[in-house]
Amino acid sequence: MPEQLLMMGNEAVALGAYHSGVAFASAYPGTPSTEILEELSRFDGVYAEWAPNEKVAMEAAVGASLGGVRSLAAMKHVGLNVAADPWFTLPYIGVSGGLVVVSADDPGMHSSQNEQDNRYYAKAAKVPMLEPADSQEAYDFTREAFRMSERFDTPVLLRLTTRVCHSRSIVVTSEPEKAPPVPYVKDAVKRVMIPGHARLRHPVLVERLAELEKFSEGFPGQRKINGSGDAVVVASGVAYQYAREAFPDVSILKLAMTHPLPRKLMRDFLGSFKDVYVVEELEPYLEESVAALGLSPRGKDSVPRVDELNVDRVRDAFPELAGGSKGKKPIKEIKGLPARPPILCAGCPHRGIMYVLARLKAIISGDIGCYTLSVLPPLEAHDCQVCMGASITMGHGLYKALEIASGGEGADGPLSHRVVSVIGDSTFFHSGLTGLMEMAYNDGRFTVVILDNRTTAMTGFQDHPGTGVTLKGQPTAAIDIEMLARSLGIESVHVVDPYDLEECRRVLREEMKRDAPSVVIARRPCVLLERGKERIPMSVESEACNDCGLCLRLACPALVKRGEEVVILEDACLGCGICAHVCRQDAITTV
């Protein structure tokens, strides 16, 4: 019996996959995609796992597909970069059980380092792509994607964006189907991509693309919505929702399958209008294709190419389509309000070690995780950061370059020895390990600090290969980072407690001087994992305090300035004691 549910787009994808009989799902957590696997893991009969990274997740899903079951891999947009290697060859070998890859893009960079447009990945790899515009379509298109995958012997890209992933809307489900495993058959010519085989397969892809385009022409999701006037808007995904609200009277071509595009349908329908407008987030992906048909669309000349869209931005881009201004914005945005950036929590074990590194004037090559927040004032403890796992590898290059450039001693010792790479435990397992090999193999004489807080904190406390627990909550082997580092031939490996700042300072100072590869593991569970534990808050003895403000440089939300005085908010303080270590007057003690 069909149900009517209010679901996030991510939940709808999970339910759609479940109702499609998906048997295998793998992912690495990443906003805005994380909930897809969390939801899938709750269904009986679905094997769901956290992979160390997206490349692993995709390859595992490919193997599962070849093994005959319907499979899914989910990732955030930048995760597809990590998985790009299998991605481009995967269409050559095709599928056995249906295979769906979900890419959750993040226009506006709510929780990301860039806003790349992954629609180009579908085009570049000759993979069909569906773009849902709400949770209903997220559910329906996931189911359609599995069917398409098997029918056309290809992986299918389901491309979501933040406002589809994290918006709730109504979903009406349809009859669940069973997907019995396809018996395993060896087919090496199709599945072993030596050049001789790949040359045979590439033409198959090109033919398949032509077949897919015919399918796209008749795909019911490609909707022609007739309005009034001689203008038409082309849109897909959530941009369609903004367009239909901003321009309620205008005709719309709402595209759902955006690779390959239905060129004949587009030429016929759009050609019947005087003016063609394209409303899309980020890159002019659709606009380029419309222009290639010989039409002259308006698009990125007015629609912003950066940041996410909304109804206001779409209306402002083409006011001529909006039919008269709404003329009512009575309250102006209040300017000059204090910002409220995300911050490291009170009691966060990252805080002290980032403070110490900043005081030691370390050149910090950072990574992706909560600790990156320490780049903000007053800690200002980062020099560079680009993507998952890059801290160690960039640190290695930085070290080598500074060695070459300085040719030896600087005023405070060799500058190259101030290079410190900082990486979290989950990120280390994601893609830090190869960096550590680079350091060990190529004699990078700098320091790597692994902030081991026993979880993937920023995305909401997911397990990883170091925690000893799987996504399904089963106990499993926990990888020992210390032994791992030693096994690479790194002799200097230390474990410190990040609450003990004296120890951290002593060890880090020594390790930064050391003329050899060095690893320091700062181990303490994320304070949010320890909620409910007994805590003894700290307090400031006002007679002893000389208001120097040094403790404020820790940027702890429990440590505040009231007038000239520094006080500790008892409710907020978790008693980590890092501030007591910092205070030179010994004015901070337990209550």
Kindly list the residues in this chain that would bind other proteins in the complex (CB under 8 A). Answer: 6, 31-32, 34-35, 110-111, 134, 163, 166-170, 225-228, 238, 241-242, 244-245, 248-249, 310-312, 315, 326, 328-334, 337-345, 370, 373, 378, 458-460, 528, 552, 555, 557, 559-561
Q: Minimum distance from CB of 77 to other proteins (Å)?
A: 13
Q: Minimum distance from CB of 333 to other proteins (Å)?
A: 4
Q: Minimum distance from CB of 525 to other proteins (Å)?
A: 15
Q: Minimum distance from CB of 368 to other proteins (Å)?
A: 12
Closer CB to other proteins, 218 or 342, in the complex: 342
Q: 135-152 vs 195-218: helix axis angle to the nearest 10?
A: 130
Q: Minimum distance from CB of 126 to other proteins (Å)?
A: 32
Closer CB to other proteins, 330 or 532, in the complex: 330
Could you tell me the two tokens for 37? 């696997």
- Give 51's contacts (C-beta < 8 A, 6+ positions apart): 26, 27, 28, 57, 60
Phi/psi of residue 322, nearest 5 degrees: -80, -15
First and final C-alpha spacing in the chain? 60
Q: Look up residue 575 and give its DSSP letter.
A: -
Could you tell me the two tokens for 562? 């009231």
**Contact status, residue 497 vs residue 503, Cβ threshold 8 Å:** yes
Q: Is 90 exposed, middle or buried (0-12, 13-18, 19+ CB in 10 A)?
A: buried
Q: In what order do the strands lie in the sheet with 231-236?
A: 223-225, 251-255, 231-236, 275-279
Q: Minimum distance from CB of 348 to other proteins (Å)?
A: 9
The rounded distance, in Å, linking the Cα atoms of 540 and 588 is 5
Closer CB to other proteins, 337 or 404, in the complex: 337
**Contact status, residue 143 vs residue 150, Cβ threshold 8 Å:** no
**Contact status, residue 582 vs residue 501, Cβ threshold 8 Å:** yes
Q: Minimum distance from CB of 342 to other proteins (Å)?
A: 4
DSSP-derived secondary structure for 444-470: --SEEEEEE-SSBTTTT-B--TTTSB-
Q: Minimum distance from CB of 298 to other proteins (Å)?
A: 21
Beta strands per DSSP E along 9-64 = 24-27, 47-50
Closer CB to other proteins, 225 or 536, in the complex: 225
Closer CB to other proteins, 302 or 492, in the complex: 302
Closer CB to other proteins, 176 or 460, in the complex: 460
Run of H or E including 297: none
The C-alpha angle 51, 57, 58, rounded to 5 degrees, equals: 175
DSSP-derived secondary structure for 334-380: PTTPPP----PPTT-HHHHHHHHHHHTT-EEE--SSGGGGGGSTTT-
Closer CB to other proteins, 334 or 477, in the complex: 334
The rounded distance, in Å, linking the Cα atoms of 78 and 113 is 9
Q: Minimum distance from CB of 496 to other proteins (Å)?
A: 24
Run of H or E including 182: none
Write the single-letter amino acid at 193.
M
- Give 363's contacts (C-beta < 8 A, 6+ positions apart): 383, 398, 402, 415, 418, 419, 420
Closer CB to other proteins, 288 or 316, in the complex: 316
Closer CB to other proteins, 274 or 329, in the complex: 329
Phi/psi of residue 590, nearest 5 degrees: -75, 150
Q: Minimum distance from CB of 111 to other proteins (Å)?
A: 3
Q: Of 303, 550, 524, nearest to 425 (Cα)?
A: 524
Q: Minimum distance from CB of 316 to other proteins (Å)?
A: 10
- Chain centre distance of CA 583: 38
Closer CB to other proteins, 353 or 508, in the complex: 353
| The CA-based dihedral angle spanning residues 228, 232, 238, 241, taken in that order and rounded to the nearest 10 degrees | -10
Q: Is 473 exposed, middle or buried (0-12, 13-18, 19+ CB in 10 A)?
A: exposed
Closer CB to other proteins, 25 or 558, in the complex: 558
Q: Minimum distance from CB of 461 to other proteins (Å)?
A: 9
Q: Minimum distance from CB of 166 to other proteins (Å)?
A: 5
Closer CB to other proteins, 111 or 539, in the complex: 111
Closer CB to other proteins, 168 or 300, in the complex: 168
Q: Minimum distance from CB of 340 to other proteins (Å)?
A: 4
Closer CB to other proteins, 10 or 289, in the complex: 10
The rounded distance, in Å, linking the Cα atoms of 448 and 520 is 6
